[in-house]
Amino acid sequence: MKNNRIGSYSPFQDDALFVRSVGFCEQDGEYREMSREVDFGEFFWCTEGSGVFILGKRHYILRPGEVFFYPPGSVMDFHPGPNGWKHYFITFSGEAFPLIIPTLSLSPGKKFCGRVPEDLFKQLLSGMLESDPGKRIPLLNIGMQILFQIASTPKNKSRRKESTAEKAKLLIEQNFSNAEFSISQLAWKLAVHRVTLCREFKKLYNVTPQEFLFACRFSKAIRLLQEENLTVKEIAFACGFSSQEYFSTAFSKKFGHPPTSL
């Protein structure tokens, strides 16, 4: 009976909101866990195989790209599908978490969220294993990025056919570190006019493709500035900026201070 699990619990469990645990599991079809009532919220993001979830009187089959949410107070009852599965998990706790659930329109059960943000899960897992008090806020920020990605996925998103805007979002997430990547290039790749792409993207995500591109670049830049021993020039190129000067100017314009101040 296979149960390969890599996970970590947060050492910072006295905050109003915190990531309680995070990890990755690979389990065969014979593995079982005892059902139990929990006082935290847990999200399961399937990457391979399938899982069976029970919530109340309903049974759900969780497949790759789908996320299942058990809110606080739930009786968690789940097990791998007959051929096993692989999944990432993240749990949230603290007195503020139940207040966030309706704010983000998070519903118990499953929804399709697409490709798992593995980099975010790995960053969070690595950071929590270090138990560095100076990282409690950055770690919560990473956890919230995962949570926002789950919450912001349209409820009617299809597993079989993604919209142009959804394809664009995925391509931006995959290519933003490339300084030669542009929205014009993205529109050409998707065989759609740039104006049409911008309109559809803005309608679905409330930001333009260009704004999302820069958000991805700045998000990575802030993480590298806080956690890595790299020069500003190295970070600029690692985040998709064509020069240190361009990066510093854009960063200062966005945040009101130069990247060297972090």
Residue 228 has pLDDT above 80, yes or no: no
Q: What are the chain's domains?
A: 3-152 (2.60.120.280), 164-261 (1.10.10.60)
Answer whether 78's CB lies under 8 Å from 44's CB: yes
Query: What's at 152, amino acid-wise?
Result: S
pTM to 2 decimal places: 0.60
Q: Determine the pLDDT at residue 68.
A: 97
Task: Please check whether residue 17 is in contact with residue 55, taking contact to mean a CB–CB distance below 8 angstroms.
Answer: no
Q: What is the pLDDT of residue 117?
A: 94
* φ and ψ of 204, to 5 deg: -85, -40
CA distance 240 to 163: 25
Q: What is the pLDDT of residues 88-98, one digit of tens each?
A: 999 999 999 99
Distance, in Å, from the CA atom of 209 to the CA atom of 199, rounded to the nearest integer, reads: 9
When the pLDDT of each residue in the chain is averaged and rounded to a whole number, the result is 88
Tokens of 82: 């007959």
Residue with tokens 């009786």: 75
Higher pLDDT, 154 or 18: 18
Residue 160 has pLDDT above 50, yes or no: no
Confidence of residue 67 (pLDDT cuts 50, 70, 90): very high
Percent of the chain clearing pLDDT 90 (strictly above): 53
Percent of the chain with pLDDT over 70: 95
Q: DSSP string covering 218-249, please? A: HHHHHHHHHH----HHHHHHHTT-S-HHHHHH
The total of other beta-carbon atoms located within 10 Å of residue 19's CB is 28
Q: What three-state secondary structure class fits 165?
A: helix
Amino acid identity at 70: Y
229 to 119, 132, 150, 218, 232: CA distances (angstroms): 19, 16, 31, 17, 10
Task: Give CA–CA dist 229/15, Å, rounded.
Answer: 29
- Tens digit of pLDDT for each residue in 169-201? 988 988 899 999 999 999 998 999 999 999 999
Measured CA to CA, the distance from residue 177 to residue 214 in angstroms comes to 10
pLDDT in tens, 198-217: 999 998 888 899 999 999 89
Question: Residue 243: pLDDT above 70?
Answer: yes
Question: Which band of pLDDT confidence, cut at 50, 70 and 90, is reported for residue 161?
Answer: low
CB 139 within 8 A of CB 89: no
Helix H segments across 135-208? 136-152, 164-175, 183-189, 194-205
If we measure between CA atoms, which residue out of 101, 68, 89 comes closest to residue 8? 89
**Structure confidence at residue 205 (pLDDT):** 86
